[in-house]
């Protein structure tokens, strides 16, 4: 099984390359903990999608630590990755989004695989549940999975967050994801503004944190949606992105796949903002002190 890690984002709100920012006294990144948990769950290959200019720093840090413990590969996401130069605005800097990032791994992802963000801590239970699903998956299947989190376990005190509000069927399959781009934490959950009104989402609302389980069949839908995105004359040329939850939602609506929602009680945490870092450091330190992780993951 392969773990595909989305690590090409620019981290504009955070103010730096947060994917390789140390969070422990041993110099480990959040990504180290995800890989450690994935190996425990049975994943035997890690593929990073990164910007080409960050290759050396990734390889010399987390890459060097995990080589010999798991197979490691890299693919690159650039504005011209599978995109005709004639479609790229001259002033475009922002990557094309997570659907495009996953498409950059199409040539190497030939077995069931999981997709995660590099800068999110997901908790070990999520990796075990995804692994259990993927071990039974057939390469030609369009039966996918998504790990869903309780909203209350994913919020920050330091500003707004974007979360995918998940609507599931009675038998636990994803019906649709509604992107909430500016959620603010409040007592008992979060709120967002819509059409001039304040809307409350309770803590137990299931949300997507971009933890997916796919087979190679997913690329058929991704190819089609990204091509439509690139050719859309109404998209904002410098900032619009083709996002994986939206793409999968369209595939579900078209009947091209189904997605089983695997719920977890694990607490997500991450670094959306620079002010989140002290809290993440404290949480990781507490997990190490409690024996959940060794003091020095790769020693």
Which CATH number do you get for residue 72?
A: 3.90.550.10
Give a yes or no: residue 77 inside a domain: yes
Give a yes or no: residue 298 inside a domain: no
Its pTM stands at 0.91
| 3-class SS of residue 163 | strand
pLDDT, residue 14, reads 35
Both tokens of 31, joined, read 């990504």
pLDDT, residue 269, reads 87
Domain total in the chain: 1
CB crowding 27-52: b at 16 or more within 10 Å, else e: ebbbbbbbbbbbbebebebbbbbbbe
Both tokens of 34, joined, read 């995800």
Give a yes or no: residue 13 inside a domain: yes
pLDDT, residue 292, reads 95
Q: Taking the alpha carbons of 14, 15, 19, 25 in that order, is the dihedral positive or negative?
A: negative
Give a yes or no: residue 295 inside a domain: no
Give a yes or no: residue 299 inside a domain: no
pLDDT, residue 189, reads 87
Give a yes or no: residue 297 inside a domain: no
Q: Residue 31 and residue 11: Cα distance in Å, rounded?
A: 15
Provide the residue-wise pLDDT of the chain in tens; the chain has 299 residues: 999 999 986 444 334 455 567 899 999 999 999 999 999 999 999 999 999 988 888 888 888 899 889 999 999 999 999 999 988 998 998 889 999 999 999 999 999 999 999 989 999 999 999 999 999 999 999 999 999 999 988 888 888 888 889 999 999 999 988 888 889 998 888 998 888 888 899 999 999 999 999 999 999 999 999 999 999 998 999 989 999 989 999 999 999 999 999 988 888 888 877 788 899 999 999 999 999 999 999 98
297, 27 Cβ separation under 8 angstroms: no
- The per-residue DSSP string of 27-79 comes to ---HHHHHHHHHHHHT--EEEEEE-GGGHHHHIIIIIHHHBTTBEEEEEE--T
Give a yes or no: residue 73 inside a domain: yes
260, 132 Cβ separation under 8 angstroms: no
pLDDT, residue 21, reads 74
Give a yes or no: residue 294 inside a domain: no
Give the structural domain span for 156.
2-289
Pairing of strands 197-202, 189-194: antiparallel
């Amino acid at each position: 099984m392969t773990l595909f890690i989305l690590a090409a984002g620019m981290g504009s709100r955070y103010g730096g390359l947060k994917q390789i920012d140390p969070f422990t006294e041993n110099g480990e990144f959040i990504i180290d903990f995800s890989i450690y948990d994935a190996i425990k769950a049975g994943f035997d290959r890690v593929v990073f999608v990164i910007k080409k200019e960050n290759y050396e720093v990734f390889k010399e840090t987390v890459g060097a630590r995990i080589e010999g413990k798991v197979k490691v590969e890299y693919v690159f996401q650039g504005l011209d990755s599978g995109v005709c130069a004639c479609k790229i605005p001259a002033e475009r800097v922002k990557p094309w989004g997570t659907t495009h990032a996953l498409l950059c791994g199409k040539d190497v992802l030939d077995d069931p695989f999981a997709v995660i963000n590099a800068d999110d801590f997901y908790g070990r239970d999520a990796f075990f549940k995804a692994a259990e699903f993927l071990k039974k998956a057939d390469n030609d299947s369009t039966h996918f999975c998504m790990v869903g989190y309780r909203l209350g376990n994913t919020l920050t005190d330091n500003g707004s967050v974007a979360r995918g509000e998940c609507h599931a069927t009675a038998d636990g399959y994803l019906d649709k994801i509604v992107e909430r781009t500016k959620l603010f934490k409040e007592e008992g959950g979060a709120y967002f503004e819509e059409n001039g009104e304040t809307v409350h989402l309770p803590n137990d609302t299931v949300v997507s944190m971009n933890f997916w389980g796919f087979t190679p069949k997913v690329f058929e839908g991704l190819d089609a949606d990204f091509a439509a995105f690139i050719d859309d004359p109404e998209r904002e040329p410098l900032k619009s992105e083709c996002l994986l939850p939206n793409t999968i939602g369209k595939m579900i609506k078209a009947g091209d796949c189904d997605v089983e929602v695997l719920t977890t009680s694990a607490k997500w945490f991450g670094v959306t903002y620079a002010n989140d870092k002290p809290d993440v450091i404290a949480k990781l330190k507490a997990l190490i002190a409690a024996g959940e992780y060794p003091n020095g993951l790769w020693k």
